[in-house]
Amino acid sequence: MRNRVIRLLLKKELLDVFRDRKAIIMLVLVPLLIYPLIFFGSFAVMTMIQSSMEQGEYKVLLSVDDDGALERQIEKYNSDEENEQESKNKSQKDNSSEKSKIIVVSIYDYVRDGEYKLIEDTSEGRAELAEKILQDEKADVYVDTIVASDENTSSKDASSGESGDASNMASNEDSDTRIIYRTKYVSSITDSNYAEMVVKDILDDLTDEETKAMLEEAGLDAERVTHPFGIKRENIASSEQSAGSLLGMILPFMLVVSLLMGTMYPAIDTTAGEKERGTLETLLTLPIKNHEMILAKFFTVALMGILSALLNVISMGFMIFYLIKLLQSDAVSNLGLDLKNFNVGTFVPAMLVTVLAIMAFSLFISAVTMCITALAKSYKEANNYITPLTLVVMLTGYIGFIPNIELDNKMAMIPVANICLLVKEMLLFKASMGPTAIVLLSNVLYAGLAIMLLSKIYDSEGVLFDEGRSGLQLFQRRSNIEKGGVPTSGDAWFIVFFVMIIYLYVGSILQVNKGRAGVFYSQLIVLGIPLFMALYTKRNLRETYHFKGFKIVGFLGSLLLFIGAFLIENIVSTLLYQFFPESFEQMNNGLAETLLGDNILIGFLIIAVAPAICEEMMFRGYILSGFRSKYRKWTAIIMCSFIFGVYHTSLIRLIPTMMLGICFAMIVYYTDSIFPSMVMHCINNGIGVVGMYKPGFLEDSFPLIFTQEASVISDLILGVISVVMVFAGVKLLKICERSRRAEINK
């Protein structure tokens, strides 16, 4: 019976999606029509431009003194082109490979015509005038000659009257001088840039001919001297491997992006769109359970993502097939592809695993997308929320283009990157069973966790039915803003993204250029921007930042909870160190180089005290207060802690940092005071300061806690102690909360 309800809800959601014209356009028309049109349109334009450039006529200004050698070589180039064209016309072949024609002009032609004035008839004067002509696009390339000694001790223009006969000097066996051809062009002008490349090829041909003539004059075999040995290259990679290498860079990125695009609009429509239309209330009045509605929406979004990805693969496959057929045999050979021996059947296992990867990733990205869009109350707001996820997925998807990154057990657990690397290695016939299983299972696991979070969001009436507490107040007229209260969730999200951008760009520059002082200035950014926002929007600073006293029982509970969380975080860090030892060492070395100094007191102030004040005021003050105004307790705590972990810009430290963030947020939530969390934050960072300034001290004094070697027994002992500490700390904090609320109710 309940499965029938889910099927009916799924059918309803699918009908709603397919009734939306925007969804049909994004799911069907874009992959099947727009992508091919863009590809073929771009290909046609590029072909037309290339053909136009190859068949064009280019003016070359010559001011050389080489007995006419370069001019004769240009005439030979043009005559060779004419002969080739005549033979092609006779054989009625395509003339798309027609060569360009070079027209030799003199700089004096422009002077005689009165267009330009030559102020001084010297090498510098002619070069200066030539630059003006090139910039005005009256000619494309300027070539002159310089006479230089072999030791490069002096150089002067060979075409000036002062330099004498350059060719005589070049041909004089007793002379140490030689001719240097100099070309001037404008790289920002397409014709000038292309013409210079043609002139360079002509000069290379002239060099080869002169070299051959000099060797033959000396009685040597020119071919053997210039090519003393032959080179024969043999590529032993099969056509399938070469094709897989090419597809392995492009296909994974296209897959993850198309899956995101395919899930984005259905996710917005089934969550924020339903709120905006006002149909969510009607749906909730039906005799259905919350998880049934969530599963129906989730499967709808996942199916749309899979459909979009498959359509994108079909469209891309058609374009690649057409391109290969379109290419001539020489071009295909250069790519390492032998179409005659190409066996598509070898890609069947890769195709099957790719389909499984698409399904697994679709589950994950659908759940994540729905979690984000469920927080919005309108289409427009949901689009704004989804933008950061789009950027993260696209940037991570580029990992397929980076060489020498392989899929191992570590990389197999990183979302988005693991799918890209799996598809890439399957196409290269290199994937192994272990990492493949980890990739598929981890995506399903992440999807399950996201669905659990989604169910929590849908259990919150404050999220489903916004009560006006989520709007962004920054862009309202200050006179219209009501004084008092705490930030809205919109204010909090704005601070999250705005400070992240400023912190990543400005903070990174400050830290690189200023070292420890830059770290302190970065903390002032974290403190100052939210504080300015709170003052501008007239928030109650005492309520926003929890500037309140605390009871002794609350402080003891905070201390016990912190000790337990610190031990758990240390266990997790030790386990992660076994997987990523190099990453941990690089991170620690980088921090040490930036932060270490001679004075441990200054280090303690910058590394421990400043973050304890600034980060706590932003994350457990401004952001947590904004999230608590809309979301339920654990939703607000987890989101705030996750953002806290992301801000530390270390993927391997994300989970440990997030765990500490949860601990600090719980302390603020139960004590309603930010001061205990500041103290715990300071203690945590202070331990790090001791480890940096006194290497080996912590390991020698507390080997059970700070060892980097994983031990089952020690981890079990620490695990038991940490659980007891956390349990005792939470108990005391709850006592503190009850006592505080009792005083308020009096």
User: Which of 279, 252, 667 lies closest to 464 in space, CA to CA?
Assistant: 279
- CA distances (Å), 469 to each of 474, 540, 545, in order? 14, 15, 18
- What mean pLDDT do residues 374-402 have? 81
Q: What are phi and psi of 10, to 5 degrees?
A: -65, -45
Q: What is the DSSP letter of 33?
A: I
Q: What are phi and psi of 425, to 5 degrees?
A: -75, -30
pLDDT digits over 299-320, tens only? 888 888 888 777 777 777 676 6
Radius of gyration, alpha carbons of the chain = 35
Q: In this structure, are residues 312 and 35 in contact, taking their beta carbons and an 8 Å threshold? A: yes
- What mean pLDDT do residues 499-520 have? 80
- Range with lowest mean pLDDT among 53-57, 93-97, 361-365: 93-97
Residue 579 has pLDDT above 70, yes or no: no
Most confident of 40-54, 295-309, 590-604, 689-703: 295-309
CA atoms within 13 A on the CB side of 676: 29
How would you classify residue 374: left for phi > 0, otherwise alpha for psi between -120 and 50, otherwise beta? alpha
pLDDT of residue 474: 65
Place of tokens 């250029």: 513
Task: Report the Cα 17 to chain-centroid distance in Å.
Answer: 30
Residue 647 has pLDDT above 70, yes or no: yes
What is the residue type of 270? T
Intra-chain end-to-end CA distance of the chain, in Å:
51
**What is the rounded CA–CA span in Å between residue 448 and residue 454?**
10
Residues 6+ apart with CB under 8 A from 242: 235, 335, 336, 337
Greater confidence (615 vs 353) lies with 615
Q: How many separate helices (H) and strands (E) can be counted in the chain?
A: 34, 5
Q: Which residues of 237-251 are buried (b: 16+ CB within 10 A; e: fewer)?
A: ebbbbbbbeebbbeb
Greater confidence (291 vs 638) lies with 638
pLDDT of residue 169: 40
User: Which of 589, 591, 570 lies closest to 715 in space, CA to CA?
Assistant: 570
> For the residues of 170-213, what is the DSSP string, one character each?
HH-TT--EEEEEEEE--TTSHHHHHHHHHHHHHHHHHHHHHHHH
Residue 577 has pLDDT above 80, yes or no: no
Q: In 10 A of CB 403, how many CB atoms?
A: 5
Greater confidence (736 vs 324) lies with 736
Alpha helices (H) in 596-711, listed in sequence order: 600-604, 610-615, 624-628, 633-647, 654-671, 675-693, 697-701, 703-706
- What mean pLDDT do residues 131-160 have? 72
Supply 256's token pair: 């993850």
**What is the rounded CA–CA span in Å between residue 223 and residue 617?**
77
- Range with lowest mean pLDDT among 337-341, 674-678, 718-722: 337-341
pLDDT of residue 170: 43
Q: What is the DSSP letter of 155?
A: E
pLDDT of residue 153: 42
pLDDT digits over 201-230, tens only? 999 999 988 888 888 888 888 888 888 888
pLDDT digits over 249-260, tens only? 778 888 888 888
Supply 173's token pair: 């066996």
**What is the rounded CA–CA span in Å between residue 255 and residue 259?**
6
**What is the rounded CA–CA span in Å between residue 421 and residue 398?**
10
Q: Which H or E run contains 330?
A: helix 329-334
Q: In 10 A of CB 165, how many CB atoms?
A: 14
Greater confidence (708 vs 640) lies with 640
Bridge partners, residue 59, by sequence: 103
What is the dihedral angle through the alpha carbons of 324, 330, 336, 341, rounded to the nearest 10 degrees? 70
The average confidence (pLDDT) of the chain is 79
Supply 649's token pair: 């810009």
Supply 408's token pair: 């191992």
Bridge partners, residue 58, by sequence: 102
pLDDT digits over 648-670, tens only? 877 677 888 899 999 999 999 99
Q: What are phi and psi of 102, to 5 degrees?
A: -105, 125
What is the residue type of 600? I
- Range with lowest mean pLDDT among 347-351, 536-540, 673-677: 347-351
Q: How buried is residue 499: exposed, middle or buried, by Cβ count under 10 Å (0-12/13-18/19+)?
A: buried
Place of tokens 């136009």: 52
- CA distances (Å), 126 to each of 109, 133, 188, 500, in order? 12, 10, 22, 55
Residues 6+ apart with CB under 8 A from 421: 252, 399, 400, 405, 406, 407, 411, 412
Q: What are phi and psi of 103, to 5 degrees?
A: -105, 120
pLDDT digits over 70-122, tens only? 999 999 988 876 565 555 555 544 444 456 889 999 888 888 888 888 888 88
Q: In 10 A of CB 657, how many CB atoms?
A: 19
Residue 158 has pLDDT above 60, yes or no: no
pLDDT of residue 513: 77
Residue 142 has pLDDT above 90, yes or no: yes
pLDDT of residue 398: 83
- What mean pLDDT do residues 485-505 have? 84
Q: In this structure, are residues 226 and 215 in contact, taking their beta carbons and an 8 Å threshold? A: yes
> For the residues of 532-592, what is the DSSP string, one character each?
HHHHHTT--HHHHTT-----HHHHHHHHHHHHHHHHHHHHHHHHHHHH-HHHHHHHHHHHH
When pLDDT is cut at 50, 70 and 90, the band that residue 329 belongs to is very low
When pLDDT is cut at 50, 70 and 90, the band that residue 581 belongs to is low
